[in-house]
Structure 1
Amino acid sequence: MARDYDVIVAGAGMVGAAIGYGLAGMNRRVLMLDGADTDFRAAKANFGLVWVQSKGFGHPAYQRLSIEAVQSWPKFAEQLEAESNMPFAYERNGGLNFCLSDDEWTARANRLDKWHAQAPEFAPSTHMLDRDELQRRFPSMHLGEAVVGASFGELDGQVNPLRLLAAMQISFQRRGGELRSNHAITAINPLPGGGFEVVAGEYRARAERVVIAAGLGSSVLGQMVGLDVPLRPQRGQILVTERLAPLLPIPASGLRQTAEGTVMIGVTQEEVGYDLSTTCEGAVRMARKAMRILPDIAKAKLVRQWSCLRVMTPDGIPVYASSTRHRGADIALCHSGLTLASFHAGAYAQALASGVFPSAMGIFHHERFNVQKTA
C-alpha cells in the first residue's frame, strides 16, 4: 500500500539525516529512505572536522555559507544533544594547519589573506602563528623540527561524526519522522497533478516533495526527476592509532586526537574511481607527514586503516537545485556534510518546507556546469 508523506528524503547519511531532522521539526510528515550498509557511504570516512579556514577559496558564496554554518553549530549541537541524549563530543576550540617549511608558511599566509578579502563583511577568523607562538599557546605539543608554524582558525572544531549521525537519526524519529533502512530507491515516478511515488523494491510511498541527498547514488536518482548532476568519487584513506596520552590539544588538518585518545591521520585525496582499496603507499605518506609534525606518534601502534569515497562535484562546491521539469523535486550534494549540518537542518530545511529559496542560493545550481547554456 502506498503511504502519504509531505516529504521523502532519499538518503540518511550526513546530509540527508540533517535535512530530515530539520524538516521533522517543522511539523512535516517525513519519510527517510536509506540504502544498505554496503553502499558507498562518505560518512564512514568522515574525519570529524567542523572546519572553515580557507574553505571556499575562490568561491565567496561557499565561503560565506561555511562561515555562517560554523557560527550556527554551537546552538545546533546543544539542541541536538538535548533531544537525542547522545553526546557527540563537539568542541570549537580552534584548529591548526601546520606549515613544514618557510615556503609553506608564506603560501599559507598569502592564501588566507586572499580568502579573508573574498568576504570582508566577516571579521578575520584565522591567524598565522609562528613556532614560538605555537609552543607558547600549546605547551603540551612536542613539535617536530620541520614545523615552522601554523595557521590557526578560531571558528574550527571537531566532533565524533558517527555519533553525530546517530544523534540526527534518533532525533529525527523522536520528532515523528520515519526511517527505513535497507530500502534502496529504485524509481522516483512523478505523478499526474503533482507529487511523486518513490519505489524501493516492493515498497512504495507517495509524497508532495522529494529531496535527493543520497551521496554518489544521487546521480542516478536525480536523472529520474530532471536533475542531472555530474559527480565523481574521490578516495580518502585514514589511519587510526591506539589510544594515547594527550598530545594534540586541538584538531589539525589531517591530524586529530579523538575524545577517546586515538589519533586519526589522513586524509588522502585520490582520483581512482570507485576503488575502495587501502594502500601501503597512502599509509606511508600519511604517517611520515604526521611524524614530521608530532614525532611522538612514531611510538604508537596503528590499529586500523580504511578508505571511503567522497562525493565530489566537478568544482568541489555544493549543489542545491530544484527541478524545473518536476516541481517539488530537489537535490542537495556536498562533500562537507559535517560542517554544513547546521545549515541543512536549519535554513535549508526551512527553505524546503516553505518552497521558497533565497536568491543567493542560485549560485549553487548545477546548471553552472552546463558551459553551452551559461556561455
Structure 2
Amino acid sequence: MQSSNPNTATNTAEVAVIGGGIVGLAIALGLTRNGHQVVVLDESDIALRASQGNFGLVWVQGKGDTLPEYAAISRQSARLWRSLADQLLDSTGIDIQLQQKGGLFFCLTEQELNNRQQMLQQMQQAAGGDYPYQVLDLKQVQELEPEAGPEVAGATLGPEDGHVNPLLFYRAMTEQFLQSGGRIVHSGKTTDIKPLNQGFTVTCHDKGLDQKWHCDKVVLTAGLGNKELAPMVGLHAPVEPNLGQVLISERLKPLLNYPTGHVRQTNEGTIQIGDSKEDVGFITDTRIEVLAQIANRARKMYPILNKVRLVRTWGALRVMTPDGYPIYQESTRHPGAYVVTCHSGVTLGALHQGPIADWISHNKTELPLEAFNGQRFNG
C-alpha cells in the first residue's frame, strides 16, 4: 500500500497519530472524516505489532463486569460495527467479513456456568435491566452448535457478539485513510514529543536520522510504547505486556456456527484456538505446555477437533493496564495531547473511528470518559 515518505527535515500536519495499528488507524480514519489533515507515524516492522496477533472478536458479553462504563462503551461500539463495515465496503470494495449473530462462551463445569450466570446477572442489574444474554444447558448449546461435546456443561449466549477478519479490517481502514488524504509515514521510533506554546514537535528516529513533525494535536496510540511516550505530554499510561498464544488449524468445511471466547472458525475455514493470558514480559515465544492446555480445552468443547491438523502457532502481546480497562484522556497540562490505549482494538474499533475520533476533533463528548482517566492509577 502506498504511504508517504517526507523529504524535508521538518514536516507539518494538523494531527499526528503515533502508532499505526488497529487503534491508531481507526482514530486516524475518524479524524480525516471530520476534515483534519492527519499523519500516522508508524514505527515499522520492528515494533511489537499487537494488531497482527488479534483474535478478531467483536465481543460484548462479560466485558466490564467490574466497570459498567466499559460494558456500555463495548455495547455502543458493537452497535456501530455494521455501519462501519458497510462504509469500508462501499469505499474500498473490501469485505471485512463481519458476522454479528451472537457469540457463545462455553463452560466445562456447572460451577463455572453458575459463576458466569451470576456475573452476567450483576451486569444486567448495573445496566438497569438492559443487558441481553441467555444461559444455555448442553442440549440447548447443541441445538446451536451440533459439534459441542458432552463435557460442556452449558454456555452463555451474547446476542451482540460477533467476529471479523482483523487483517482485512486493517487493510480496509488503511486504504480508506489514504484515499481520504491521510498520510502514513514509517518514521521509526518516536523519541521525543515537545509541547510548544502552540502545538507540539514530534521527533522520530530511524536509521541514524531524526525526523521532526510539527502538529496542532498529537494522539498516542502506540500500544505498549505509550508507557514511555505519555509522560512527555503530562499523561500516565502504565501499560504492560500480556502474552496470548494461538493455534491455527488447516482449512476445513464450515463446522462452527458461532464464535466463542476461545475458538472461532474464520471465513477461510481455519479454526483459531487460544485463550492464554501470561505475564512473561516481552517474550512472544510459544510454549508447548501452554499450547497443550489450550488444545485440551478446545477438544473438550468440540471433540471433532481431535481429528484436525494444526498448521501453525503464534504468540502476541496484549496491551494491558493494571485493571484491564482502557485509558482515554486529554492532557490537562498540555491540551491537545491525547492518549488512547486498550487491549480490545477490534471490539472498540467502531467506537474509536466514531465517537472517540469525534471527541478528539471537537473537545467534547457524551462518553463516560472520566472512568478511563489514567490518573486512576496514581493512588
What does 1:57-76 correspond to in 2, within 5 Å? 57-76=65-84
Deviation for aligned residue 1:322? 1.0
* Distance in 2 between residues matched to 1:137 and 1:261, nearest whole Å: 19
Instruction: List structure 1 segments (4+ residues) > 6 angstroms apart after TM superposition.
Output: none
2:220 partner amino acid: I
Q: Is it true that 1:4 corresponds to 2:12 in the alignment? A: yes
Shift of 1:257: 0.4
Offset from partner CA, 1:321-342 (integer Å, 9 cap, x none):
1112211110000001101111
Structure 2 residue corresponding to 1:146, chosen from 143, 147, 151: 151
> Which stretch of the first structure deviates more once superposed, 30-39 or 53-62?
30-39
> Is 1:135 paired with 2:139?
no
Confirm or deny: 8 A CA contact 2:85 2:95 kept in the other structure: no
Quick one: which amino acid aligns to residue 195 of structure 1? G
Q: Shift in Å at residue 182 of structure 1? A: 4.6
Native 8 Å contact 2:144 2:257 kept in 1: no
2:3 is matched with which residue?
Answer: none
Would you say the 8 A contact 1:211–1:330 is kept in 2? yes
Deviations for 1:117-169, whole angstroms, at most 9, x for unmatched residues? 111262x321011111122234xx22222012210010000000111011111
1:226 maps to 234
**Helix, strand or coil at the partner of 2:188:** coil
Paired position in structure 2 for 1:53: 61
Q: What secondary structure does 2:66 align onto?
A: coil
Unaligned 5+ segments in structure 1 are none
Given the alignment, which residue of 25, 28, 31 partners 1:20? 28
Helix, strand or coil: the match of 1:38?
Answer: coil
Are residue 186 (structure 1) and residue 191 (structure 2) matched? yes
Amino acid at match of 2:215: A
Partner residue, 1:273 = 281
RMSD, aligned α-carbons: 1.2
More divergent stretch after superposition (109-118 vs 312-321): 109-118
Q: 1:359 to 1:91 in 2, by over 3 A?
A: closer
Q: Number of residues paired by the alignment?
A: 367
Give the Cα–Cα distance (whole angstroms) in 1 for the partners of residues 77 and 129 of structure 2: 15
Q: Secondary structure at the match of 1:54?
A: coil
Secondary structure of 1:363's partner? helix
> Which of 212, 227, 230 is residue 220 of structure 2 equivalent to?
212
Q: Quick one: distance in 2 between partners of 1:59 and 1:40?
A: 28
Secondary structure, aligned partner of 2:106: strand
User: How much does 1:92 deviate?
Assistant: 0.3
Corresponding residue number in structure 2 for 1:40 = 48
- Does the aligned pair in 1 maintain the 2:97–2:165 contact within 8 Å? yes
CA deviation vs aligned residue, 1:280-308 (integer Å, no higher than 9, x gap) = 01110000001001111111111111101
Q: TM-score scaled by structure 1?
A: 0.95
Give me the identity figure in percent.
Answer: 39
From 200, 203, 222, the equivalent of 1:196 is 200
Q: Return the offset for 1:183.
A: 3.0
Q: Does the Cα contact within 8 Å between 2:98 and 2:162 map onto a contact in 1?
A: yes
Question: More deviation in 80-89 or 265-274?
Answer: 80-89
Q: CA offset at residue 3 of structure 1?
A: 2.4
Q: TM-score with structure 2 length normalisation?
A: 0.94
What do residues 172-230 of structure 1 show as CA deviations (whole Å, max 9, x unaligned)? Answer: 11111101125321211112x22011111222111100000000011111111111221
For the 8 Å contact 2:132–2:159, the answer to whether it is kept is: yes
Q: Does residue 1:324 correspond to 2:332, yes or no?
A: yes
The aligned amino acid for 2:141 is L
Aligned equivalents of 1:203, 1:137: Cα separation in 2: 55
Task: Name the structure 2 match of 1:126.
Answer: 133
Among 27, 38, 57, which residue is 1:30 paired with?
Answer: 38
Question: What is aligned with 1:96?
Answer: 104
The CA distance in 2 between the partners of 1:290 and 1:3, in whole Å, is 51
Cα pair 1:194 1:327 within 8 Å, conserved: no
